[in-house]
């Protein structure tokens, strides 16, 4: 559905996107991760046809973005970073404007407008101008605008930025609902979102692709993959427990964070059975014991700060 | 509706959604009438024509048109809506034309609202209405030229004040291109052909003939060319600078 080949973009001396090649199939919800300035937004802008690639090629829905920009723009729904909108327009007026430019007409126009306003709970602010809206509402208007024509491809630049936890939840539910038959790219800073939404993750840094995997596989690269963390009811015993854990075979290191101990395994080692056995025989007053699947934030940090994942 | 019409309608509605439209209309009407009666000596001339009224249009436009054109693209760039607009299925030309035509239609409305002047002169005497119509046409064409320059310069910046000042300076240059103030900059070092070329760009010279009721093809072509060239430049500037 989306394919890029050595896609690059240069701003003067700065190479913002450096020969990115990837392919995204329908049904994919791709999480686009990377530090600020990594080239996420630039890549999305190129896919959406806002800026031209300096080199390379992007094919969206079978059409070259540079050669057939209008066809591509009809196919996709795009939420630009910051969800810009015309401040002096009302929500209904703004969405009507987008519907007109999208060529929606008659009953279908009415039906789509009503549906989208309903899905994003915009009914209560329909007659308010955009400049009077809260950040959360404005973001939702931006989303409404992007899904208005029920596009097969959605490119959303930080769709949940500025939303409160409830709104985040709603937007995620909406994206998940649409995911079945669409190709969706979202960029985000929120790693839990990747876990909650995406079935594929791409991490980019300095314009280059650093990792491309399923979230679970990426977690498996973490030092914390299969680590065991535990908390004791009696903090006085923590020091002794830490020493005992470190002495276990298969345990690489023990980290202490406040009242929590985390035992990191040697590569591939399974340490949970040994630790639970130890806890039982030593009679530790366990408050909590669990197996970690890995920490995305740690993987993210390691990959984007130059370490090899 | 074609995408251009959609853009045009949104833009035009935008003028009236804010006080901009009303402030502009009131100031234009008050100033154009004041100039005609006090500076132009409308009554004292004792002639049944609107020369006293049309003489001051270039100078009114010099400050009012840039105020109208400054927001066309600068605001889109500042608020980031340009990214939205340019990723909707609309071509660069459709967007540029839509916005320009909206601003032009608005100045046409302002001009049309000066009709009491026309009624007055018809009540007082028996003017040549064909000449007056020609003068209106000339005034509208000149406003279009100013607007095209302003639209193009508005795309070069995200700051409306800068767009305003650049446009005033550029329009001033075009107005007086046939006069020593501008020509002296070129005379002396530039070849005569260039000096003549610059002189022929004068808005005032081309407008004066029209405002006296004389329709000459070259004056019409001149304004049409100015508008086309600057709208073309507008698309180029947007294409180069939209992302920065």
Pair A183, A167 in one domain: yes
B103 to chain A nearest CA, in Å? 17
In a domain, A88, yes or no: yes
ipTM of the complex, rounded to two decimals: 0.89
| A109 contact B CB<8A | no
In a domain, A309, yes or no: no
Q: Contact, A217 vs A29, CB < 8 A?
A: no
Flag if B88 and A98 touch (Cβ within 8 Å).
yes
Mean pLDDT of B28-55: 84
pTM: 0.88
Domain range for A14 is: 2-220
Q: Contact, B50 vs B32, CB < 8 A?
A: no
pLDDT digits (tens, 9 = 90+) for A110-156: 999 999 999 888 999 999 999 999 888 999 999 999 999 999 999 99
Burial class (CB in 10 A: 0-12, 13-18, 19+), B93: middle
Sorted by where each begins, the domain ranges of chain B are 3-241
Q: Count interface pairs A-B at CB distance under 8 A.
A: 63
Q: What are phi and psi of A271, to 5 degrees?
A: -115, -5
Q: Contact, A223 vs A264, CB < 8 A?
A: yes
Pair A149, A175 in one domain: yes
Between CA A247 and CA A298 the distance in angstroms is 25
- Please give the DSSP secondary-structure letter assigned to residue A248: S
In a domain, A94, yes or no: yes
| A49 contact B CB<8A | yes
End-to-end CA distance of chain A: 28
Q: Which residues of A touch B243 (CB under 8 A)?
A: 45, 50-51
pLDDT for A84 equals 94
- Sole residue written with tokens 């810009």: A84
pLDDT digits (tens, 9 = 90+) for B68-126: 999 999 999 999 999 999 999 999 999 999 999 999 999 999 999 999 989 988 998 88
A48 to chain B nearest CA, in Å? 6
- Sole residue written with tokens 């009666």: B37
In a domain, A306, yes or no: no
Does the pLDDT of residue A72 top 60, yes or no?
yes
Burial class (CB in 10 A: 0-12, 13-18, 19+), A107: exposed
Residue A293: name the closest of A232, A199, A221, A203 by CA: A221
In a domain, A304, yes or no: no
Pair A207, A270 in one domain: no
Between CA A170 and CA B54 the distance in angstroms is 60
Number of structural domains found in chain A = 2
Residue A202: name the closest of A187, A192, A212, A193 by CA: A212
Q: Contact, A89 vs A133, CB < 8 A?
A: no
Pair A251, A193 in one domain: no
**CB within 8 Å of chain B, chain A residues 227-256:** none
Pair A208, A247 in one domain: no
Flag if B242 and A51 touch (Cβ within 8 Å).
yes
pLDDT for B196 equals 81
Helix, strand, coil content of chain B in percent (nearest 5): 75, 0, 25
Q: Which of A220, A236, A264 is the last residue of a domain?
A: A220
Pair A195, A75 in one domain: yes
Does the pLDDT of residue A309 top 70, yes or no?
no
Task: State which H helix or E strand residue A253 sits in.
Answer: strand A251-257
Mean pLDDT of A71-75: 94
| A70 contact B CB<8A | yes
Between CA A81 and CA A250 the distance in angstroms is 46
Between CA B193 and CA B181 the distance in angstroms is 18
Does the pLDDT of residue A307 top 70, yes or no?
no
Higher pLDDT: B49 or A64? It is A64
Between CA B77 and CA B84 the distance in angstroms is 10
In a domain, A301, yes or no: no
Q: Contact, A272 vs A264, CB < 8 A?
A: no
Q: Which residues of A touch B3 (CB under 8 A)?
A: 101
What the block records as the tokens of A3 is: 């394919």
Between CA B22 and CA B184 the distance in angstroms is 40
In a domain, A182, yes or no: yes
Higher pLDDT: B152 or A287? It is B152
Pair A96, A53 in one domain: yes
Higher pLDDT: A267 or A101? It is A101
Pair A84, A178 in one domain: yes
Pair A69, A120 in one domain: yes
* A38 contacts: CB under 8 Å, gap ≥ 6: A204, A205, A206, A207, A304
Pair A177, A279 in one domain: no
Other Cβ atoms within 10 Å of B74 Cβ, number: 23
Does the pLDDT of residue A216 top 90, yes or no?
no
- Please give the DSSP secondary-structure letter assigned to residue B35: I
pLDDT for A294 equals 81
Pair A171, A63 in one domain: yes
What the block records as the tokens of B221 is: 């072509």
pLDDT digits (tens, 9 = 90+) for B143-153: 999 999 999 99
pLDDT digits (tens, 9 = 90+) for B3-36: 999 999 999 999 998 888 899 999 999 999 898 8
pLDDT digits (tens, 9 = 90+) for B197-228: 888 888 888 898 888 888 889 899 999 999 99
In a domain, A297, yes or no: no
Mean pLDDT of A153-169: 89
Taking CB atoms within 8 Å and a gap of at least 24, the contacts of A60-64 are A60/A1, A60/A2, A60/A153, A61/A1, A61/A2, A61/A152, A61/A153
Between CA B209 and CA A165 the distance in angstroms is 67
Pair A151, A268 in one domain: no
What the block records as the tokens of B141 is: 């064409």
pLDDT for B243 equals 66
| A301 contact B CB<8A | no
| A50 contact B CB<8A | yes
Here the CATH number for the domain that contains residue A178 is: 3.40.50.300
A186 to chain B nearest CA, in Å? 17
Q: Which residues of B touch A48 (CB under 8 A)?
A: 87
Q: Which of A170, A200, A220 is the last residue of a domain?
A: A220
Q: Which of A163, A192, A220 is the last residue of a domain?
A: A220
Here the CATH number for the domain that contains residue A258 is: 3.30.70.100
């Amino acid at each position: 559905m989306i394919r890029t080949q050595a896609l690059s973009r240069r701003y003067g001396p700065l190479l913002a996107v450096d020969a990115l090649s990837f392919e995204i199939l329908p049904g994919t919800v791709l999480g686009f991760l990377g530090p600020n300035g990594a080239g996420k937004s630039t890549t999305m802008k190129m896919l959406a046809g806002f800026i031209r690639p300096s080199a390379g090629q992007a094919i969206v829905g079978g059409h070259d973005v540079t050669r057939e920009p209008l066809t591509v723009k009809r196919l996709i729904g795009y939420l630009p970073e910051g969800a810009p909108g015309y401040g002096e327009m009302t929500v209904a007026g703004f969405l009507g404007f987008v519907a007109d430019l999208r060529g929606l007409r008659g009953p279908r126009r009415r039906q789509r407008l009503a549906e989208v306003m309903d899905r994003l709970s915009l009914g209560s602010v329909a007659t308010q101008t955009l400049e009077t809206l809260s950040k959360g509402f404005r973001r939702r208007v931006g989303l409404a605008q992007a899904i208005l024509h029920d596009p097969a491809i959605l490119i959303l630049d930080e769709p949940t930025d500025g939303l409160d936890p409830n709104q985040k939840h709603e937007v995620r539910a909406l994206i998940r609902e649409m995911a079945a038959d669409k190709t969706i790219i979202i960029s985000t800073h929120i790693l839990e979102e990747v876990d909650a939404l995406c079935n594929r993750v791409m991490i980019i840094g300095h314009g280059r692709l650093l990792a491309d995997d399923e979230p679970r596989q990426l977690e498996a690269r973490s030092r914390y993959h299969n680590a065991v963390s535990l908390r004791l009811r009696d903090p006085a015993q923590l020091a002794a427990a830490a020493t005992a854990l470190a002495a276990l075979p298969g345990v690489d290191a023990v980290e202490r964070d406040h009242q929590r101990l985390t035992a990191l395994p040697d590569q591939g080692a399974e340490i949970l059975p040994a630790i639970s056995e130890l806890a039982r025989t030593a009679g530790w007053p366990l408050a909590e014991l669990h197996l970690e699947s890995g920490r995305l934030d740690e993987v993210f940090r390691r990959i984007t700060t130059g370490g090899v994942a | 509706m074609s995408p251009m019409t959609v853009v045009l309608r949104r833009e035009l509605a935008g003028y009236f959604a804010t006080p901009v439209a009303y402030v502009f209309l009131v100031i234009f009407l008050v100033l154009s009438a004041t100039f005609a009666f006090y500076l132009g000596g409308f009554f004292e001339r004792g002639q049944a024509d609107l020369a006293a009224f049309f003489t001051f249009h270039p100078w009114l436009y010099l400050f009012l048109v840039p105020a109208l054109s400054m927001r066309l693209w600068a605001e889109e760039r500042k608020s980031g809506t340009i990214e939205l607009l340019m990723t909707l299925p609309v071509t660069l030309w459709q967007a540029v034309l839509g916005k320009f035509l909206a601003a032009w239609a608005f100045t046409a409305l302002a001009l049309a609202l000066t009709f009491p002047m026309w009624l007055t002169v018809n009540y007082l005497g028996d003017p040549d209405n064909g000449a007056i119509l020609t003068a209106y046409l000339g005034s509208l064409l000149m406003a279009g030229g100013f607007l095209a320059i302003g639209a193009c310069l508005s795309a070069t910046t995200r700051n409306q004040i800068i767009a305003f000042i650049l446009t005033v300076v550029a329009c001033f240059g075009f107005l007086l291109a046939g006069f020593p103030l501008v020509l002296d900059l070129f005379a002396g070092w530039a070849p005569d052909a260039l000096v003549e070329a610059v002189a022929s760009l004068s808005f005032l010279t081309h407008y004066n003939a029209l405002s006296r009721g004389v329709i000459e093809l070259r004056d019409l072509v001149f304004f049409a060319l100015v508008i086309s060239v600057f709208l073309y430049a507008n698309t180029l500037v947007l294409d180069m600078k939209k992302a920065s």
